[in-house]
Structure 1
Amino acid sequence: MASQVSKPKVWRRGYGLIFLALGVMVLTVILGTVSPGAARDPLLEVLIRKGVLTPQEASQVELEAKDLEKEREQKVAKEVTKSVEKNADKLVPKALKDLQIKFLGYVDYSLGERPIRDNTGRYKGQQNSYNQFDLTRAYITIQKKITPWMSARATLDRHRPGGNDYEVRFKYYYAELRPPNLGFLTDMKSEIGMGHMPWLDFEEHINPYRCQGTMAIERAGIFNSADLGVSLRGYFGGRVPESKVVIGDSHYDGLYGSWHIGVYNGASYHNRENNDNKVVEYRVTLRPLPYYRWLAGLQLSYFGLYGKGNDSINTYATLANVAPLSTNNNYFADWVTHLVMLSYQNPWVIFTGQYYAAKGGQEGRRVDPTGSALWGHGFSFFGNVRFPWWERRLNLFARFDYYDADKDNEYYPSAMYHKYIAGLAYELYKKNLLLLVFETTNYGRNIHDWPGWNGTRSYLTRPDRFNTGLDDDTRFQMVYQIYF
């Protein structure tokens, strides 16, 4: 019986110890959160009792002491941060030092109608719908600075052969060497490998909407942006001071202009080399008034190209389903291009106007029935205005392209198209863009556009072969540009 009575006493004693411990903890927390002013420094208390300091003076001394301690802690923190930054290179593995990884993607949704795509021709009145999402670009770029004068770059991109599965291929793969300045020629870079051709990278840093579609001369099928070869580029006289503020962009900001010359296979980055010809390309850009703030963005550019088309004229004849054009299967048509562009940039406005004449083309398809390359020509205008509202993120832009593959009407009297583009662009954050665009293309009767559309990679055909030309190509487009 005694054991039964003692058990509750044990429990009561246990509960008492628990409550006592909790009480001590609560008291400790309360005392720990009391303002430091509630427990004054003992030395100050002595000085107050002796009448050396008043309580108000003692409080002021405490505040000043706290400020001095705070300054000391901040000084120590700065010294620690400085030491960490100084030794940061030692903490990063050598393989990751000066390594950059970048991503650039275009997610496209288009709604509209395009001429029917097949290999026997496309006729007026026969169309099918866009109404599709597409991934039109998916760059993964790796750049490595090896030494102050040598670096390397590799860029992968999506590829969708025949409209089937997405595949990956190299868009750029090159070593970059930086020779020293040579007098007036400054900021030089040499690319060895699959590098930039001289024109399109330059134009695409003036017209910021490559995500909407290719530039005018590429849209016409004359050439694209990258090829295997070697090139050298640089600036005239250094760089424009504060170019990002004055011009609105820091790319190709040579003080008096820029230049680029290269020798390439001529097949581009997505075709194999089908001949032993090499293509010479060059660009010269002049900036006449770099020190006049509102005219510093004015430039005049010339681009030239000389070589042979990559495919033989009989390869073209086979693809176009026409009779062989020559008994010589190794005959490649001439490929010559001249382009002149006037451009203007500032943080609020962009304008470009260009004219180009091209004999033949990169793939060797712009030929007459005898296999001789045709002279074509075209022009394009582009404008962009940045609005002052919404933190200057909203832009209105428009573009017009005209191209005629047989400018002298030697054989194809209507081998032309007119393209109209207009839209809004909103910069969400640092080159992350959202575009809403309307685009329409009107084709002449001699355009037989297989296997592409929208003006790209067009073949030429006599109207009596396919009776009528292509119907209009019209779409509403929404594009999201991903960049980081």
Structure 2
Amino acid sequence: MKKIVLSALAALTLGSVAANAGATKLYQDANGQVFTKSAEGRTLIKTPTSVFSKADKLKFSGLTYLGYTYNDYDSTLADGSINSNKDTSEFEIRRAYFQLKAYLLDDSKSYYRITFDISKDVTGDEKVRAKYAYLFLNNVFANTGVEIGLAHRPWHDYEEHNAWYFRNISKILIEDKAHGPDLSNSADFGVMFKTRTQYFDADYGLFNGEGYHSASNGNGMSFEWRTTAHLMGVDGKDKQTKKTYWDASFFGQYNQGHKSVTVGTVTEQQDLIFGGLHTVYNQPSFLVAAQYVYSKDTSDIANNVSKQSGDGYSVNAEYRLGEEKEYRCFARYDSWTPKTKTTYNGVSAEREDRGYLIGAAWEMNKNVQWVANAIITDNEAGSAKEINNGTAYMLTAEVRF
């Protein structure tokens, strides 16, 4: 920190010198130290300005979702009873990430990454935890690298960088709690292989299974995967506003022993298995995407409850305007039907949970995006999640560097 402060003071001093002496120039020696030299060759200032590390290169970045949300819940449920959820209004930091990559090996594409995540816990308190902490080794096999540690899970990162670009206001279907199945989160302890080719890529690995912000029970491993066919090939990064692509994916997990369930006097380890099909078509001016997900949680069957077993789908679309495609309109619809039946007005049936999302965004520049949107939750009468029904009005500033 002392070196950073000294560097900042030196920069201010250099700026003052430059403004008052046209002959003053800025130089850097072989050790990375910066100093000024007058026309006569006299050294005026010399001070270290580098952040020193044993890594060949360090790369810092940050991402924050700043927002305001007004939740207007339905005051009564379909049967006339009072909804226990009350309207809320609050400014919030939805997520804040700070990331460091350290390039340690001769291969410039291999690195160590650690990402810290600030988010609310179930009590409403802000917590800081590690979301990613892994070593990535490039090309351990042909066209295949590997993440080792607290790593990405196969599906989430793909969908958020190819089909659903508004993580700042809503998670993807398999993570959704209000009207979705809440099957999985985006990082876990384990090892993941990443295969990349022009027309096909895949992520697949073995994980603890509980995710990065849940305690591991150590009772079984989770095998997880994503395979994607790039039907029109791939062509570098920034595909959203500059490329045309069409992808089709199959993804899922087989999570063994993810939950302990006691039935009578017998305690058993139960499994969570889910799979999904997804497709997305993108041109610089628009995007359309759709997916179908099926899941089976054996603990639901053992307990005769309605939580993570079921099936559902999600569709989303985006239209982009402006010279740089900086103005965007988007919409999304989610549907999830838990497999366990619930009773309403004497009728026992599977009750659908639904969510509608509509909004607009302005890409102010490469560092700041503004979003205004509404999310309507319309879970079917008698659903276990009917209390979430209502409309959330949101304003968001996404800041990244």
TM-score class, shorter-chain normalisation, is 0.7 to 0.9
Distance in structure 1 (CA, Å) of the matches to 2:103 and 2:33: 14
Shift in Å at residue 290 of structure 1? Answer: 2.5
1:112 — aligned with what? 71
Output the amino acid matched with 1:336.
Answer: I
Shift in Å at residue 349 of structure 1? Answer: 1.4
Q: Secondary structure at the match of 2:259?
A: coil
Shift in Å at residue 378 of structure 1? Answer: 0.7
1:279 — aligned with what? 222
Distance in structure 1 (CA, Å) of the matches to 2:398 and 2:218: 37
2:250 — aligned with what? 302
Give deviations 1:347-406, integer Å, cap 9, x for gaps: 22122110010112xxx76445358997410100011111125x4311000000000111
2:337 to 381, 404, 408: 404
Distance in structure 1 (CA, Å) of the matches to 2:81 and 2:218: 34
Give deviations 1:186-205, integer Å, cap 9, x for gaps: 2x321111100000000000
- Identity %, equivalent residues: 23
The answer as to 2:92 corresponding to 1:134 is: yes
The answer as to 2:156 corresponding to 1:230 is: no
The answer as to 2:307 corresponding to 1:346 is: no
Distance in structure 1 (CA, Å) of the matches to 2:106 and 2:54: 15
Distance in structure 2 (CA, Å) of the matches to 1:439 and 1:349: 21
Distance in structure 1 (CA, Å) of the matches to 2:264 and 2:253: 25
Show the 5 A alignment for 1:64-213. 92=50, 93-95=52-54, 97-114=56-73, 125-149=83-107, 150-179=110-139, 182=142, 186=143, 188-206=144-162, 207-213=164-170
1:472 — aligned with what? 389
Output the amino acid matched with 1:481.
Answer: E
In structure 1, runs of 5+ residues without a counterpart are 1-72, 117-121, 237-254, 315-324, 450-468
Q: Counting strand residues as a fraction of each chain, which structure ranks higher?
A: 2
The answer as to 2:285 corresponding to 1:328 is: no
2:293 — aligned with what? 356
1:60 — aligned with what? none
Change (3 A) 1:288 1:162: closer
Q: Secondary structure at the match of 1:178?
A: strand
Larger radius of gyration: 1
Output the amino acid matched with 2:71.
Answer: G
Output the amino acid matched with 2:152.
Answer: H
2:13 — aligned with what? none
Q: Secondary structure at the match of 1:222?
A: coil
Q: Secondary structure at the match of 1:201?
A: helix
Change (3 A) 1:229 1:86: same
Q: Secondary structure at the match of 1:283?
A: strand
Q: CA RMSD in A?
A: 3.3
2:41 — aligned with what? none
Output the amino acid matched with 2:134.
Answer: Y
Change (3 A) 1:441 1:371: closer
Q: Secondary structure at the match of 1:217?
A: helix
Change (3 A) 1:328 1:111: same
Give deviations 1:98-140, integer Å, cap 9, x for gaps: 1011111111211132369xxxxx9554441121111110111
8 A Cα contact 1:414 1:445, kept in partner: no
Residue-pair matches, total: 344
Output the amino acid matched with 1:204.
Answer: E
TM-score, normalization by structure 1: 0.64
Q: Counting helix residues as a fraction of each chain, which structure ranks higher?
A: 1
Q: Secondary structure at the match of 1:204?
A: helix
Output the amino acid matched with 2:379.
Answer: Y
1:423 — aligned with what? 359
1:260 — aligned with what? 203
Change (3 A) 1:370 1:409: closer
